[in-house]
Amino acid sequence: MQEGSIVSPVTETPERRAFYQKIDEKNLTALWLSLAELVTTEPRSNCRPALWGFGDIRSLMLEAGELITAKEAERRVLVLENPGLRGQSKITTDLYAGVQLVMPGEVAPAHRHTQSALRFILEGEGGYTAVNGERTLMHEGDFIITPPWAWHDHGNPSADPIFWLDGLDIPVIQMLDASFAEHLHVDQQPITRPVGDSDARYGYNLLPVDHESARGSGSVFNYPYARTREALERLRRSDRWDPCHGLKMRYTNPITGNHAMATIGTFIQLLPKGFAGSGYRSTDATVFVPIEGRGRSYIASHSGDEFVVDWSKRDIFVVPSWHWIRHETTAMDAVLFSYSDRPIQEALHVFREDRGNV
């Protein structure tokens, strides 16, 4: 038996080779030649562990800011390509990541698409994104959702550049062949609701009395960092740390209690200073974005190779499916945002996780 395979390789004979050539003309292939590649005993992809330092991205983005406007680019974004998946605009096998820059006074014009997007604000205050007729203001650490087919435009009336991480399900929609997109005839969509409207309707453990939980009927779309951070700070008082995750929460849609987005799972975790985490692995390849503090994570592949990530605030790193990860901090508390395809895997009943001996 081949390693990582449930089948033994078959031998070639001249007759078999001739047969393969004959069926090839009919658009047919023999499964016994590819079964070991198609049905592996464990996840196996070209996705690699990788780190992008924010310092590098920031200066390159400012260079891009000199080269092209947000309006001409439509979205001025540098795409984070996994080194094992170059040329595909993927940070994991099925998720996309990019860092977007909006300069003072700029607008990234209104459009909509079937792909869902998350924004995690890295640097800058006073920008906004408008979603379905409502603006929400951006602050560092805020997590903002653009649901499928929602009109959205971004603007920056502040005096400083604004940088955020875009996480989208572009490769998922590509696989489903369900991409639709359109451009609005004006740069900025008409504003029909005041700032904070969705939050008041859906974000206070209340719902409008006639709310129908029909698909797309609205929910919270900004999860402000100030509130998330406050929750973590209160929870730490109970002093119940998970040996692998520290204190880790997932963002939810308050109407359903499910993940905040249909395709992308989003998480926030606090690692206290002096944390030495245990190993953990899961089938959802995960993109991590520290937003406070610094630390080190060890990512081990199936072959035992170890990739060490020394991260600090605003860096971005990716952990492929079924790779062991453990986190460490020293002198500072750290907070990490992360996202993965977990809702898809849970819906398909294929999500697995493993805590080793913990």
Determine if 168 is a binding residue for ligand GTQ (CB under 6 A).
Answer: yes
Binding mask 141-160 for ligand GTQ (x = CB under 6 A): -----------x--------
Nearer to ligand GTQ, 146 or 297 (CB): 146
Please report, as residue ranges, which positions from 56 to 75 form the binding site for ligand GTQ (by CB under 6 A): 75
Q: How far is the CB of 341 from ligand GTQ (least distance, A)?
A: 17
Nearer to ligand GTQ, 164 or 280 (CB): 164
Place of tokens 């991260």: 311
Sequence-ordered alpha helix ranges (H) in the chain: 14-24, 31-38, 54-67, 70-73, 170-176, 197-202, 225-235, 342-347
3-state secondary structure of 140: coil
> Which two structure tokens, joined as six digits, stand for 304?
């035992």
Determine if 117 is a binding residue for ligand GTQ (CB under 6 A).
Answer: yes
**Nearest residue to 119 via CA among 149, 77, 178, 161:** 77
Amino acid at 295: G
> Which two structure tokens, joined as six digits, stand for 286?
């995960």
Could you give the CA distance from residue 168 to residue 95 in angstroms, rounded to a whole number? 6
Please report, as residue ranges, which positions from 28 to 57 form the binding site for ligand GTQ (by CB under 6 A): none
Among 76, 85, 98, 270, binds ligand GTQ (CB under 6 A): 98
Q: What is the CA radius of gyration of the chain?
A: 22
Nearer to ligand GTQ, 98 or 293 (CB): 98
Q: How far is the CB of 75 from ligand GTQ (least distance, A)?
A: 4
Q: How far is the CB of 121 from ligand GTQ (least distance, A)?
A: 13
Determine if 287 is a binding residue for ligand GTQ (CB under 6 A).
Answer: no
- Reading phi first (left if > 0) and then psi (alpha if -120 to 50, else beta), residue 301 is in beta
Nearer to ligand GTQ, 139 or 229 (CB): 139
Q: How far is the CB of 81 from ligand GTQ (least distance, A)?
A: 13
Determine if 77 is a binding residue for ligand GTQ (CB under 6 A).
Answer: yes
Q: How many residues sit in the footprint of ligand GTQ (CB under 6 A)?
A: 9
Q: How far is the CB of 166 from ligand GTQ (least distance, A)?
A: 3
Nearer to ligand GTQ, 113 or 323 (CB): 113
Q: How far is the CB of 20 from ligand GTQ (least distance, A)?
A: 42
Determine if 100 is a binding residue for ligand GTQ (CB under 6 A).
Answer: yes
DSSP codes of every residue in 152-221? EEEE--SSS-EEEEEEE-HHHHHHHT---EEE-SSSSPPP-B-TTHHHHHHSSS---TT----TTS----
Beta-carbon contacts of 3 under 8 Å, excluding residues fewer than 6 positions away, are none
Nearer to ligand GTQ, 134 or 333 (CB): 134
Closest residue to ligand GTQ, based on beta-carbon distance: 166
Nearer to ligand GTQ, 82 or 100 (CB): 100
Question: Which helix H or strand E contains 100, and what residues bound it?
Answer: strand 96-102
HSE-CB of 150 using CA atoms within 13 angstroms: 24
List of residues contacting ligand GTQ (CB under 6 A)? 75, 77, 98, 100, 113, 117, 152, 166, 168
